[in-house]
Structure 1
Amino acid sequence: MNKRQTRSFALISTAIAVVVFLGLTVDSHRQFPKLTNADQITPQVTRGKDVWHQYNCINCHTLFGEGAYYAPDLTKISQQRGAPYLTAFLKDPSKFYDEQRHRRLMPNLNLDDEEIAGLIAFLDWVSKVDNQGWPPRPILVTGSSIPGTDLAVAQQDVSGSTPSDSRLPPGARPVSGTEDPIALGEALFRTATPVCSACHSIAPGVNLAGPTLAGLASRAKQVIASADYQGGAKDVEGFIRESIVTPSAYLHPGEMYSADGMSFMPNTYPKSLTSEQIDQLVAYLASFQ
């Protein structure tokens, strides 16, 4: 190839690349309104965005994987936690996390009700943006509520990875056969919407947004037998099903799990899961003796 041909090749290649780039740019902007749900940007969402910037939330948190990486990525936090939990948390974070146990402490920003409602609306809008699966999993920070708990196990559990078989309860260990209800329930535990493992740990003593599920069957028996229990369950399976379908039927002790008589756990599973899937999830959770 001589100099003239080389120059022509470079010019033509550059021109083609520019045309492709401009075409992709135009196509991206064409899709932005749909991908970002622009029609759902209400004045409250805009107010929440202003609160996000006013208090420099991005100095600690991240959205779409971009930010300080000091605290959790909040891209899907609205779907993972829900408005009641976020409202109570923003009013007083110290009720949910302790600096000594969790190795960090969210400051109380003293937000008023309008600011909190706006911020939650903004985060809810963010959670519904089509981000093409990024970040790939919830980026959560966890800690132990009892001395000596293996934090690595808890962090693996939250991220969706499976700890070594020897560290798992019998019901959580891999089993053969895709039709086994416990195995299917374990898969649902990590894939249902909202993801159960984003709020619940299976490691003893590790409480996240929800209480640990280690020893759930034993605790369920104690709750059913107690005089304070007002639910309708008669056995462990019934109690677990009740907790999934109507989570406010029994409120787990602790201000970080409920407020005003309502559990922070989402009550949407009866709509997002079939009755058979709920049975599978119950079978899996009931195996935690």
Structure 2
Amino acid sequence: MNKRQTRSFAVISTAIATVVFLGLTVDSHRQFPKLTNAETITPEVTRGKDVWHAKNCINCHTLFGEGAYYAPDLTKISQLRGAPYLTAFLKDPGRFYDEQRHRRLMPNQNLSDEEIAALIAFFDWVANVDNQGWPPRPILVTGSSIPGTDLTLAQQDASGPGKADAALPPGARPIGGAEDPIAKGEALFRTASPACNACHSIAPGVNLAGPTLAGLASRAEQTMASADYKGSADSIEAYIRESIVSPSTYLHPGDMYSAGGTSFMPNTYAQSLTDEQLDQLVAYLATFK
């Protein structure tokens, strides 16, 4: 091309790129109200956002993957943990973590009940923003290793269905092919909403928001034989299923798992999972002897 043709090409290309950019910008702004659920921004949500900023939560946590990386990303925290757990945690974080055991400490911000409710409302709004799948998964900050393996909990969580057999607790049955009910249950363990592995570890002695599931089958037998058990299960499988669909029937010892006789575990799995899926999840969890 000669100089005139080159100049014309550059001008036309720049004009086209500018038009495309402006069109995409306008289209993005057109979608923002729907993507961000703007109609659900209530005064309480706004108050929660103010609490988030006033307490400098972003100095340790991230939202949508943006912020500090010292503590977990909280984009989906209300879906992963639920309001009862978050309320108890924000009232007294020291019940859940301590500096000596976990090498970090969530400071007690001395939040009022109103501030906690507003902050949870803000988290609910954030969790329902269409963030196009970002961040791709919750950010784990624990560095605890799984006994007997070279995997960290974060690596275990990212290993995917059927790839964590080496990290299974002692006595757990290896997972078979994709059509194996146990394999399907293992996949559900990671993909149910909320995902079970967001709160439960399968490593012995590693308790997260919920108790470890290592040795679950053995503990189920002991629990059913104890005088404290008031449920109706008569087998390991029935006990595990009862624990999933009615988690407050038997409360695991320790005040970090329940409050006021109600388990922090969501009680929505009976509605979100089919009977077949529950059977698959129970079959998987029953392998943890």
The TM-score with structure 2 as length reference comes to: 0.94
Tell me how far 1:164 sits from its aligned partner.
Answer: 5.0
Alignment of 1:153 onto 2:152: yes
Alpha-carbon distance change, 29 to 202 in structure 1, aligned in 2, over 3 angstroms: same
**CA displacement, residues 230-284 of structure 1 (integer Å, 9 cap, x when unaligned):** 1111111111000000000010011110001100000010111001100110000
What is the one-letter code of the residue matched to 1:102? H
How far apart in 1 are the matches of 2:91 and 2:158? 27
How far apart in 2 are the matches of 1:44 and 1:149? 47
Alpha-carbon distance change, 71 to 159 in structure 1, aligned in 2, over 3 angstroms: farther
What is the one-letter code of the residue matched to 1:269? Y
Alpha-carbon distance change, 82 to 151 in structure 1, aligned in 2, over 3 angstroms: farther
How far apart in 2 are the matches of 1:201 and 1:262? 21
Q: Percent identity?
A: 77
Tell me how far 1:171 sits from its aligned partner.
Answer: 4.2
Residues 149, 166 of structure 2: 8 Å contact kept: no
Tell me how far 1:151 sits from its aligned partner.
Answer: 8.4
Q: 164-173 or 228-237, which moves further after superposition?
A: 164-173
Output aligned runs, 1:63-142, within 5 Å: 63-142=63-142
Q: Which residue of 1 aligns with 2:46?
A: 46
Tell me how far 1:150 sits from its aligned partner.
Answer: 6.6
Q: Which residue of 2 aligns with 1:3?
A: 3
Tell me how far 1:102 sits from its aligned partner.
Answer: 1.3
Tell me how far 1:218 sits from its aligned partner.
Answer: 0.1
Residues 200, 209 of structure 1: 8 Å contact kept: yes
Alpha-carbon distance change, 224 to 143 in structure 1, aligned in 2, over 3 angstroms: farther
Tell me how far 1:196 sits from its aligned partner.
Answer: 0.5
What is the one-letter code of the residue matched to 1:86? L
Tell me how far 1:4 sits from its aligned partner.
Answer: 1.1
Q: Which residue of 2 aligns with 1:24?
A: 24
Alignment of 1:174 onto 2:175: yes
Residues 251, 263 of structure 1: 8 Å contact kept: yes
How far apart in 1 are the matches of 2:150 and 2:109? 28
How far apart in 2 are the matches of 1:104 and 1:69? 13
How far apart in 2 are the matches of 1:151 and 1:126? 35
How far apart in 2 are the matches of 1:49 and 1:220? 42
RMSD of aligned C-alpha atoms?
1.9
Residues 144, 205 of structure 1: 8 Å contact kept: no
How far apart in 2 are the matches of 1:248 and 1:39? 34
Tell me how far 1:145 sits from its aligned partner.
Answer: 11
What is the one-letter code of the residue matched to 1:284? Y
What is the one-letter code of the residue matched to 1:266? P
What is the one-letter code of the residue matched to 1:173? P
SS of the residue 2:282 aligns to: helix
Residues 236, 286 of structure 1: 8 Å contact kept: yes
Alpha-carbon distance change, 149 to 257 in structure 1, aligned in 2, over 3 angstroms: farther
Residues 145, 152 of structure 2: 8 Å contact kept: no
Tell me how far 1:105 sits from its aligned partner.
Answer: 0.6
Q: Which residue of 2 aligns with 1:211?
A: 211
What is the one-letter code of the residue matched to 1:275? D
Alignment of 1:280 onto 2:280: yes
**CA displacement, residues 89-113 of structure 1 (integer Å, 9 cap, x when unaligned):** 0000010012122121110000000
Q: Which residue of 1 aligns with 2:247?
A: 247
Alpha-carbon distance change, 213 to 282 in structure 1, aligned in 2, over 3 angstroms: same
What is the one-letter code of the residue matched to 1:140? L
How far apart in 2 are the matches of 1:101 and 1:83? 25
How far apart in 2 are the matches of 1:211 and 1:9? 65
How far apart in 1 are the matches of 2:181 and 2:142? 29
Give ranges in structure 1 of 5+ residues lacking alignment: none
Q: Which residue of 2 aligns with 1:193?
A: 193
SS of the residue 1:247 aligns to: coil
What is the one-letter code of the residue matched to 1:56? N
What is the one-letter code of the residue matched to 1:279? D
SS of the residue 1:173 aligns to: coil
The TM-score with structure 1 as length reference comes to: 0.94
Q: 104-113 or 151-160, which moves further after superposition?
A: 151-160
SS of the residue 1:48 aligns to: helix
SS of the residue 2:152 aligns to: helix
Alpha-carbon distance change, 172 to 31 in structure 1, aligned in 2, over 3 angstroms: farther
Residues 87, 116 of structure 1: 8 Å contact kept: yes
